[in-house]
Structure 1
């Protein structure tokens, strides 16, 4: 059994964990509920990568990078959930982290710096986790989420978030990725939020993220 784990690359099987919030879970702002399985970006990514790649979707609505949300009925702190998920799904070749949209709720973090600190903490967790049986830490890709937008009724984004704050995430995440030797992708370049709530994505924009990640992920894992 251990021989297989330690020599996983020779079997060309790659396992990726998509760690995120409702944008990864697939919240549907138009119809309500959840996007169909084939419309969620981790599903699109897995289909595009082919049979030798498996994408494990670990999205949770309201998840923050590293902050408690006492208004919720369940634990939304990503830093607390990540170690358990690393143990659950190991061995992993890549962890894709797309978080920060919930950090920007004004009652979670007063400034965008909270999201930057939280993302740095998540990278540290992935790198320092005590992997078993000769497993090595997976590669990391940081994905900056699409920008918020004003709602169709001219109200601001859901939960009091501010559009301008979302525009600051990409540059900060890019700097963190460069400093920590992680891959980076800016999802705002390929997807935009729905004006229904100013935060979540319709099916086409959700699929667009998965499609855009196919080649960067394939190159990263080559």
Structure 2
């Protein structure tokens, strides 16, 4: 049995824009991924609403900086065979980062944390798969539109910037944009159909990385 850490934000947590709650367990992409691989992997879903790559957000009461959370989660779930990192949507907000290259630098830092973490002596450094986020759309929620101002155009730059980092760091890359479309309710989150689609689309890449 292979162990996989799915490290992300509300798209990994399974936020439901229509209800303000959470998608059912079987619809969230980490659980769909595990189901697709037929018991060959155990997926630890660590998604948190509002999480950024490496940036502090003082507008929210709880810690959202991914670089601060990742080491604890690596220690919590080791031994790990693969870490999937899917972050960046929250970075698009102008008061957080608002720059695709800046988010890519954040991803680079997270990759380095995984590579250099002090694992137990008999535990190997896990493989890494970086997933660039879906394309942001204009939604029906005016507050989200204002908070994410400029993100529609900005989100189109993320795949190129992330892939560049992945090539440099020699880790795997997956672009979520071609296989998902965000929920028009807010233009930021995935509906049940699309979060399931992401889990299914990731399965072949994960299977190849883990030689399943």
TM superposition score normalised by structure 1:
0.91
Distance 1:16 1:106, change over 3 A: same
2:91 aligned counterpart, secondary structure: coil
Hey, what does 1:43 align to over in structure 2?
31
Question: Is the Cα contact below 8 Å between 1:157 and 1:199 reproduced in 2?
Answer: no
CA–CA distance in 2 between the matches of 1:73 and 1:187? 29
Task: Quote the Cα distance in structure 1 between the aligned partners of 2:165 and 2:98.
Answer: 20
Task: Output the CA distance in 2 between the equivalents of 1:154 and 1:49.
Answer: 39
Shift of 1:154: 8.3
Give the stretch that moved more between structures: 159-168 or 68-77.
Answer: 159-168
1:184 matched residue in structure 2: 173
What SS class does the counterpart of residue 123 from structure 1 fall into?
Answer: helix
Task: Evaluate the alpha carbon distance shift between residue 61 and residue 121 of structure 1 in structure 2; reply closer, same or farther with a 3 A threshold.
Answer: same
Which residue pairs with 2:52 in the alignment? 64
Q: Distance in 2 between matches of 1:153 and 1:209?
A: 23
Instruction: State the distance in 2 between where 1:151 and 1:52 align.
Output: 38
- The answer as to whether partners of 2:135 and 2:155 remain within 8 angstroms in 1 is yes
2:112 to 108, 111, 124: 124
**Preserved CA contact (<8 Å) 2:141 2:186:** no
Instruction: Out of 14-23 and 149-158, give the one that drifted further.
Output: 149-158
Matches within 5 A, 1:39-188: 39-152=27-140, 157=145, 159-161=147-149, 162-188=151-177
Q: CA deviation at 1:111?
A: 1.9
2:194 is the alignment partner of 1:202: no
- Say what the alpha-carbon RMSD is for the aligned residues: 1.4
CA distance in structure 2 between the aligned counterparts of 1:217 and 1:48, rounded to whole angstroms = 10
Larger radius of gyration: 1
Shift of 1:167: 0.6
Deviation at 1:24, TM superposition (A): 0.2
Does structure 2 conserve the Cα–Cα contact (< 8 Å) formed by 1:95 and 1:138?
yes
* Structure 1 pair 209–158 and aligned structure 2 pair: CA distance change class (3 A): farther
